[in-house]
Structure 1
Amino acid sequence: MHGRPRKPPTQEEQDASALKADKLRHLQSQILHFHHKKIFTKEGLEISAKLLEVNPEHYTGWNYRKLAVQHFTDKKSEDAAESLSIQSILDEELRVVETALRANFKSYGAWHHRKWVLSKGHSSVDRELRLLGKFQKLDARNFHAWNHRRFVTALKKIPDEEELQYTTNMINDNFSNYSAWHNRSVLLSNLLEKGVKEYSEKDSVLREEYEFVVQALFTDPDDQSGWFYHLWLLEQTAILEPFLLSSWPSHSSKLYISANDYSSDQRSSPISHCFSKTREFPFILCFSEPVVGVSSSTVSIECDYLTCSELTWTPLSSNGSGFAQAWLTCLKFPDAAHTLEACPVKVAVAHFQGIINMSGTSCSQSSHLFFTVHIHSHDQNQAEEQTTDRISWKEENFCMYAAESHDADLLHSLCKLQMIRQKSKDVGWSMKVIADEIDRCRELLSLTECKIGKLTLARLLMANYSLVSVSCSLDRNDVHYEEILSLYDDLMKIDPSHICYYEDELSLVLLKQMTSSLGSLLKNIHHYRESTSSSFNLYACLRLNSLSLSRIGSMEQLLWVQMLDLSHNKIRSTEGLEALQLLSCLNLSHNKIRSFTALETLRLLKSLKVLDISYNEIGAHSIDTRRYLFSSPLNHALGSDWSGDIESLDHWDVFFIFKGLDLIQLDIMGNAAVNDQLKASLVKLMPALKWLDGESCN
C-alpha cells in the first residue's frame, strides 16, 4: 500500500524468488531457441504455455504460439499421431489464455492473443460472453474486458441498442464504472451516426443522457467517471462544423501597399498598411478549427489585376499533418500596376465542397468577403533604402494608441468577426442545453466544493461563448469572462498538481477577453516611436506583456499585428503565432522558454525581422523532452539543407530554427546556452543580422 514501508524479504522468500527467476530464464531461453529456429512442436507449445503462465507479458511467447498454430492448421503434420483438428488447437489456445489471465487480468498480450484466436471463426461466441461476465464480476471497470466485449459483440452482431442497455445496468450497479460510461459513449456515437430511428433526434437523446448522468454527479461529485461522460456530452452538444472565422485583409477593409515608409501617405496607418517592395502581400484565412482542403477549387478570388487560378495555399502548421487552422497564399500585383486606387478583391470561401476538419465534417457554410487594395507609387531609390536602426523595447518608447476613424472601423470589424455567410447554423437547442447545465453546475457548487465541478463550469461557460460567436444572438460582452477566470484561479489554489494546465486555460480565456471587443483591444495597442530614429519609424504595437500568460491563443482577431510584445510572461512555446504572417517585431524576453525547439513556429513567420528571446531558460535544464518530438538532422525533413560545417554549433536545433529566419536584430542574452561560439554561429547562419544583443554585427 502507498505510504507503508516495505518489509525486507526473508531468506526463504529470497531463495524462492531466485528459483523462480532461474526457471523463468530457462523457459525463456528454450522458447527463444524454438522461435529463432522455427521449430514448431508439441514440446514447444508446452514450454510456451508454462512460460506464459508465469509471465503473461512475454510477447515472444505469444508470437511463437501464433506461428505454431498457423503451422499446425495450414500444413498438417505427416505424423498422424501429431495431427490435431483445428477446433482442438484453438480450444487449447483459449485455455492457455485463460490461465494467463488468472495470473494477470490486465495482460495486453493475453487479450490480443484471445482476439486473434476468436477471429479464426471456430470458437463459441456465446461461451465468450459468459466468460466475460465472470471476469467483469471480478473487476467491472477493467477496460481490457470492455474492449474485448466490443470485439465479441461485433462478431456476434449484437445490436448497439442491446449493449447500451447493458451499460445502463452496469452503471446502475456502480456509477463509478468509468469503463461502462466510456462504452456508452462509443455505442451512442455509433447510434447517432447511423441515424437509428429511436436515436435520430440528437437533441432529445443528449437531453436524456444529461438527465441520466446528473444522478451520478449529485450522488458523488468527487467521482470523476460521470464527469468524463458529461464532458463527452458537452462535446457532442457544442460540436460545430468548421467555418471561416477571420481573414487578412479583413472583410470590407482597405489595404495600402507601398515600398517605402507609410508615413508619406496620411490615409494609411500601421493597422492597414503593408510594406512590400515586390507588390506582394499575404492573404490569410483563419478557420474555427484545423481543416484541410483549402485550394483554388474551394476558395475563389476575383481581381482584375491578379491571376488567381494558379494560387498555392499553404497550411500554417508545423506538425506536418496537413491540417491547419490558418492557411496562407500570396497575392502579387504586376509591376505594370504602377499605381492603383481602390482595386477590389472578391473572395468566396467553401463555395464548393472540399474543406473538412479532422473528424471528417465538411465546411458547408460558404462565406463571402471583399476588400480593396491601394498601391502607391514610390521613389525606387527610397524603396531600396534599408534602415539599420535598432528596435528598443524600453517603456519610454511606447505611448497609448490614438486610433483614427478608419482604424477603429477595421478593428471593430475584426473584433466582431463580421463575415457575409450564405447561411448560419441553428444552435438554439445547443445553447439552451448548455444554459441548463450551467445552472445545474452552479447549483451543485453551491452545495459542495468540487474541483472537477469548477472545471466543468468553466468549460460550459467557454462552450457557451463559442456558440454565441456563431449565432451572434448575444453581444460578446455578455460572456462571463470574470467568472471563468475566477474559477481557474480557484482551481490553481485547490489543485496545484495540475497548475500548468489551469494556467494554459486561464491564458486562453484572458486572451479571448482582451480581443473580444474594440475597447479592450485598444487598451493594449500602443504607438512605438523612438525619438532618436533617423527614419522616424512608427509602429502600432500590441502589448500583452506582464500578464502571466503561459500559452498563446485567440490570434484570429490579431492577423494585422506587425509588432508584438509578450515579454515578462510564463510562455513556454511560440505555438499559436503561426497565423501572424505580418509580424515583423516580436519580444519574448523574460519568459519560460526552455529550448530552441520551442521556437519552431517562428520558422513560418517569413516577415520576422526583430526577435528578443533574452532572459529565458534555454539551456538551463539538462533534459528537454520536447527535443525528442522535434525533427532531427537524421530526419529526411531536413533534406540536404543540413550542413555540419559549423563546428561551434553544438545543437542541430539551433541550425534548424535560425537557418530559415531572415533576422536583422536578435537578442538572446541571459540564457544558459548562450556563449561566444553560439553567437558566432548565429551571425554565420543569418547574413542579414545587423544587431546581436545590442551590439553591431558589422
Structure 2
Amino acid sequence: MHGRPRKAPKPEDLAASAAKAEKLRILQSQFLLNHHQKIFTKEALELSSKLLEINPECYTAWNYRKLAVQHSLLESNLDPDSVNSILDQELRVVENALRQNFKSYGAWYHRKWVLNKGHSSTENELRLLDKLQNVDPRNFHAWNYRRFVAALLNRSDEDELNHTQDFIDKNFSNYSAWHNRSVLVSNLMKKKVQAFSRKDEVLIREYELVREAVFTDEDDQSGWFYHRWLLDQTVKAESPLLASSWPAHGSEITLSGDRYLDLGSSSPFNTYQFDSGSLPLILYFNQAVEGVNTSTVTVSSGFNVTKDVIWKPILSNNSKTTQVWVGQLKFPEVELDSLGGYTMEVTLGHSQGIISSSGFHYSHPSHFSFTVHVQPAKTEPVEGLGSEKISWRDENFHIYEPDSLESNSVLPLDHLSIKNEREPTDSSWQAKIIDEEISNFRELLDCKIGKLTLARLLTARDALMSSEKPVHSEEVLRLYSELMKLDPPHSRFYKDEHSLVLLEKVIYGRESLLSYCFRYRNLTSSSSSNPICLRLNGLSLSRLGSFEKLLWVQMLDLSHNELQSIEGLEAMQLLSHLNLIGSEWDGNETVTDGVSLVSYWEAFFILRGLKLTQIDIAGNAIADEKFTAFLAKVMPCTQVAGWCTIELILIYSDFHCSKS
C-alpha cells in the first residue's frame, strides 16, 4: 500500500497470524453474547477492551462501549469523580487501540465522542497529539482530530497555522499538513484577520511558499495538491452569479401554439413550440444554489402572464442545491390569437435568499430582459417536427446558413450579457498571478504533473477572459494528448479533460458554432419549422460540459462519440430530440428509490427531467430490454406535465460497444 512492496510471509508469521485469528474468534464470540444480552459488568468491559486492542476496527465493540458508558453514567448518579473515572477509562482504551492501529476510524471517533461529554482535559489531548504526530506526522486522522481539539480550546487559527508550518518546514512532503494549511488559510481570509484581509496578497505569498516545495521535488504530490487548491481559490468566485439564462438577455422568442408554425423571417434559434400554455424560463448559475423562488426572483411583463412563477430545481442527485433552476411562464390561450411583442423583465439578487452550497449569498443584483412574440394560430397543422420521427442520416442535414434578416438575431450563440448593478471586483490581479505561474511551470514540462498543472493554468487563464476568444485551447489540447500517451493508466481522466476543452473551443464563438449547426430536411417533409440541430457527432468526446452555452438547443446529435456519461444534459430543458447512437454510455446500474425495477441512477436523474420526443441509443452497452422497460417507466408515453408525447426509438444495429 502507498508504494510499499509486499513481502511473502514467513512460516512463523503465518503461525502467529493463525493463533491471533483464533484468539480473536473466541473474544468476538464472547463479546457478541455480552452485547446481545446487554451485559455491562466489569468483566464484560475488560473483554471488549481486549478485543479492541487486537482489532480496533470492530465498530460494534465501540458502539457497545458507548452503551456501556451511558449505562455506567446513569448508575453513577452523575457524581463528578465517578463520571471522570468512567470517561478517563474510555480514553485509555482508545489510546491502547491507537497503539495497535494509529489510523483506526472507530478509535478516533470514539475519542471525539468522549471529549464531547465535556468532562475531559483537552490540554492533555494536545500533548498526546504532539507525541503521536511526531511518530507519524502525515496521519490525517491526527490532523483532523487536532482541528477538533483546537476548536474546543478556542485556539486561534494563527497559532494553528504556525504549528502546521513547523511540520511543513521539517518535511514538505506532508499532504495532511498542506491540507490543514488550506483549511486555516480559508478561515483566516473569511474572517479578514490582519495580514489575511487582501486575498491577492495572501495567495501570492502562498504560491511562493508552495512553489519552493514543488520545484524542490517535482515528483512529490503533496505540494501539487495545495497548488491546485490555490488555483481554485484564485479563479473561483465566492458569491454565486447568474452565468446564463434561457431566454437569453436581449433575445426575441417566437412562440407557436398547437404546432401551427409559420416562421417567416424569425430565426429558428429563437423559436419554441408552444403546446402547454407555458414557456420555460431557465436560470443557470456558476455554482449550485438554493433559495430560488418568487421572493428572490421577480418576473414582470406588459401583458397578462402569471407572475407567480413556480421554480423547480433540476437535480442530478439528491442535493438540495443545484446550478439549474426552471420556472414556467403561463400564457393565457387568448394571447395565442393575437400578434405582438411583449417585453419580459427578470430581476434577482435584490433580496437575500439565494445561497450557494458553500454558504455565500447572491450579492450581485442583476436583471435581464427578452421579447416574446406570439404566432397566430393557423387553420391546418404543419406536418413537421411534432409529428414525424427524425432520421439521423447525414443526407437529411444541411449546414445552416443564416440569411441577412436573421444573421443579427442569433443571440444564443453569443455570450450572455446580464446586467449586474454591482459588478464583481476587477480580475487583473488574478490574471497577473496566473501569468506568473504559467511562466514558472513552463520550466517543468519534463514531468507529467507539470504538464497537467500547466494545462490547468492555461485553461484558468482563458476562463478569466470571458469576453474574449480562448487563446490557449490548442496548447491545452496538445498537453492532454501528450499526457494520454505519457500516463496510460490515467488516460481516461486526461481524455475527459481534453473533451471539455475541445467542446468549449467548438461552441465558443459564433463562427465556430455555426459550422456545427444544421437544418433538418427530411425528404418526406418540406417544413421549415424544425429547429436547428447541433451536430457534435464523431468528435471522440468522452465527457460533456459548457451547458450554460447550450440552453437554447432543441435537437442534439452526440452520436459516435466515446461518452461514458451524459451528466449535465438535464440542464438542457428545451431538448426534444437526442441522438446517442454509437456512444459508450453504460448507465451505471444501481437501485433507485421509487422505481420498482433495477434501474440506472444517471439515466433516472437526467432523463426524467427532460421533455424528449425522441431518443436514439443504438450501439450503446446500455441499450437492452431492461433499459427499454426502465425508460418506459421513467418517461411514460404521455408526460404528466403535458409538454409533449414521447416516442422512444431504441434502434438495435450491428454496431456494438462494450461496457467500460
Same fold per TM (> 0.5)? yes
Q: Is the 8 A contact 1:543 1:565 kept in 2?
A: yes
In terms of mean alpha carbon deviation, does 457-466 or 199-208 score higher?
A: 457-466
Does the CA-based 8 Å contact 1:618-1:672 persist in structure 2?
A: no
Structure 2 residue 263 is the aligned partner of structure 1 residue 259: no
- What is the CA–CA distance in structure 2 between the aligned matches of 1:262 and 1:480, rounded to whole Å? 46
Shift of 1:214: 0.6
| Counterpart residue number, 1:489 | 481
Matched, 1:368 2:367: yes
Taking the aligned partners of 2:486 and 2:124, their CA distance within structure 1 comes to 49
Q: Equivalents in 2 of 1:141, 1:4: separation in Å?
A: 19
Question: In the TM superposition, what whole-angstrom CA distance separates every residue of 1:474-520 from its partner, at most 9, and x where no partner exists?
Answer: x2x24311111112112211122122222222111111111211111
The answer to whether 1:173 aligns with 2:157 is no
Q: How many residues align?
A: 634
Moved more, 243-252 or 543-552: 243-252
Change (3 A) 1:86 1:498: same
Secondary structure at the aligned position of 1:502 is classed as helix
1:196 aligned residue:
193
The residue that corresponds to 1:547 in the other structure is: 539
Further displaced range: 332-341 or 405-414 = 405-414
Amino acid aligned to 1:350: G
Counterpart-to-counterpart distance in 2, 1:451 and 1:586: 37
- Structure 2 segments unaligned to the other structure (5+ residues): 588-598, 640-644
CA spacing shift, 1:37–1:668, aligned 2, 3 Å? same
Q: Structure 1 residues 411-420 or 170-179, which shifts more? A: 411-420
2:260, 2:382 within 8 Å by CA — same for their partners in 1?
A: no
Match in the other structure for 2:552:
560
Per-residue CA shift, 1:637-692, capped at 9, x if unaligned?
A: xxxxxxxxxxx968863444332763235133149999xxxxxxxxxxxxxxxxxx
Residue correspondence of structure 1 range 259-338 to structure 2 within 5 A: 259=257, 264-337=262-335, 338=337
Per-residue deviation, residues 73-128 of structure 1 (Å, max 9, x unmatched)? 331399x9xx9843333333333222222211111122222223333344433333
Aligned counterparts of 1:406 and 1:284: Cα–Cα separation in 2: 27
2:124 counterpart of 1:132: no
- Displacement after TM superposition at 1:425 (Å): 0.9
- Asked whether 1:249 is paired with 2:247, we answer yes
Tell me if the contact between 2:267 and 2:406 (Cα under 8 Å) persists in the aligned partners.
yes
Percent of aligned pairs with the same amino acid: 50
- 1:300, distance to aligned residue in structure 2 (A): 1.6
- The residue identity in structure 1 corresponding to 2:226 is Y
Provide the rounded CA distance (Å) in 2 between the counterparts of 1:3 and 1:194.
42
User: Whole-Å Cα distance in 1 between the matches of residues 137 and 232 of structure 2?
Assistant: 26
Shift in Å, 1:313: 1.2
- Whether the 8 Å contact between 2:240 and 2:287 is mirrored in structure 1 is yes
Q: Which has the higher mean CA deviation after the structures are superposed, 201-210 or 278-287?
A: 278-287
Rounded Cα–Cα distance in structure 1 between residues aligned with 2:505 and 2:513: 9
AA aligned to 2:652 is: M
Q: Secondary structure at the match of 1:408?
A: coil
Determine if contact 1:207/1:433 at 8 Å carries over to the other structure.
Answer: yes
TM-score after normalising by structure 2:
0.89
Counterpart AA for 2:345: K
Aligned to 1:611: 615
Equivalent-residue separation in structure 1 for 2:385 and 2:471 (angstroms): 46
Structure 1: where are the runs of 5+ without partners?
Answer: 621-647, 675-698
Q: Alignment partner for residue 526 of structure 1, among 501, 518, 522? A: 518
**CA distance in structure 2 between the aligned counterparts of 1:4 and 1:131, rounded to whole angstroms:** 31
Task: Pick closer, same or farther for the CA change 1:293–1:105 going to 2, 3 Å.
Answer: same
- Which residue matches 2:592? none
User: Alpha-carbon deviations, 1:22-45, whole Å to 9, x = none?
Assistant: 322221122222222222222122
In the alignment, is the contact (CA less than 8 A) between 1:301 and 1:308 conserved in 2?
Answer: no
Distance in 2 separating the partners of 1:387 and 1:49: 71
Distance 1:227 1:650 in 2: 42
- CA deviations on 1:125-151 (whole Å, 9 max, x unpaired) are 333322222211221101111112222
After TM superposition, list the pairs within 5 Å mapping 1:290-689 onto structure 2: 290-337=288-335, 338-382=337-381, 388-405=387-404, 407-411=406-410, 414-426=413-425, 427-445=427-445, 449-469=446-466, 472=467, 475=468, 477-533=469-525, 535=527, 538-595=530-587, 597=600, 598-600=602-604, 601-606=606-611, 608-618=612-622, 653-659=630-636, 662-664=645-647, 666-670=649-653
Structure 1 position 223 matched with structure 2 position 220: yes
SS of the counterpart of 2:231? helix
Q: Is the 8 A contact 2:298 2:348 kept in 1?
A: yes
TM-aligned CA deviation for residue 419 of structure 1: 2.3
Distance change (3 Å), C-alpha of 1:121 and 1:315: closer
Taking a change above 3 Å as real, the CA distance of residues 54 and 430 of structure 1, as seen in their structure-2 partners, is: same
Aligned to 2:124, the other structure's residue is in SS state helix
1:14: Cα distance to partner? 5.0
Amino acid at match of 2:389: R
Q: Secondary structure at the match of 1:465?
A: helix
1 CA distance for matches of 2:560 and 2:299? Answer: 41
Q: How many angstroms apart in 1 are the aligned matches of 2:30 and 2:490?
A: 48
Q: Distance in 1 between matches of 2:6 and 2:222?
A: 31
Opposite residue 603 of structure 1, the aligned amino acid is: R
Amino acid at match of 2:610: L
Larger relative contact order (CA 8 Å, sep ≥ 6) = 2
SS in 2 for 1:515: helix
Contact 1:616 1:670 in 2 (8 A): no
Please report the RMSD computed on the Cα atoms of aligned residues, expressed in angstroms: 2.9
**Measured at CA, do residues 508 and 410 of structure 1 come closer, stay the same or move farther in structure 2, by a change above 3 Å?**
farther
**Which of 87, 94, 105 lines up with 1:108 in the alignment?**
105
Q: Secondary structure at the match of 1:183?
A: helix
Paired residue type of 1:439: S
Q: Quick check: 1:213–1:226 contact (8 Å CA) kept in 2? A: yes
Aligned to 2:347, the other structure's residue is in SS state strand
| 3-state SS of 1:604 partner | coil
How many angstroms apart in 2 are the aligned matches of 1:5 and 1:108? 24
CA distance in 1, matches of 2:390, 2:383: 20
Residue type at the aligned position of 2:603? L
Secondary structure, counterpart of 1:90 in structure 2: helix
Task: Summarize deviations over 1:595-634 as a string: whole Å, max 9, x none.
Answer: 373433122122x2122111111268xxxxxxxxxxxxxx
Per the TM alignment, residue 311 of structure 1 is displaced from its structure 2 partner at its CA by 1.3
Distance 1:406 1:550, change over 3 A: farther
How far off its partner does 1:7 sit?
Answer: 4.2
In 1, distance between residues paired with 2:435 and 2:342? 46
Contact 1:619-1:673 at 8 Å conserved across structures: no
Give the Å deviation of 1:404: 2.7
Q: Which residue of 2 aligns with 1:691?
A: none
The answer to whether the 8 Å contact 1:618/1:673 transfers is no
Distance verdict in 2 for CA 1:421–1:408, change over 3 Å: farther
For residues 568-593 of structure 1, give each alpha carbon's deviation from its aligned partner in whole angstroms, at most 9, with x where no partner exists.
Answer: 10112322222222222211100001
Conserved 8 A contact 2:306-2:330: no
CA change 1:3–1:531 in 2 (3 A) is: same
For residues 123 and 242 of structure 1, do their structure 2 counterparts lie closer, same or farther at Cα, with a shift above 3 Å needed?
closer
Cα deviation per residue 1:314-369 (whole Å; 9 max; x = unaligned)? 22223232322222122232222211222222222323222222111122222222
Q: After superposition, give the CA deviation of every residue in 1:281-318 in whole Å (9 maximum; x if it has no partner).
A: 22222222222222222222222323343211122223
Q: TM-score normalised to the size of structure 1?
A: 0.84
Distance 2:346 2:82 in 1: 69
| 8 Å contact from structure 1 (residues 252, 372) kept in 2 | yes
How far apart are residue 219 of structure 1 and its match?
A: 0.4
Amino acid in structure 1 at the alignment position of 2:171: N
> 1:150-165, aligned counterparts within 5 Å?
150-165=147-162
Distance 1:48 1:84 in 2: 23
Q: Match of 1:145?
A: 142
Q: 1:573·1:599 contact (CA, 8 Å) conserved in 2?
A: no
Q: Residue 624 of structure 1 aligns with which residue?
A: none
Q: Deviations over 1:416-456 (max 9, x none)?
A: 222222232122222222222222222333xxx22222222
For 1:329 and 1:186, locate their aligned partners in 2 and report how far apart those are by CA, in whole Å.
37
Greater Cα offset, 482-491 or 36-45: 36-45
Shift of the 399–195 alpha-carbon distance from structure 1 to 2, 3 Å rule, reads same
Question: Does the CA contact (< 8 Å) of 2:583 and 2:620 recur in 1?
Answer: yes
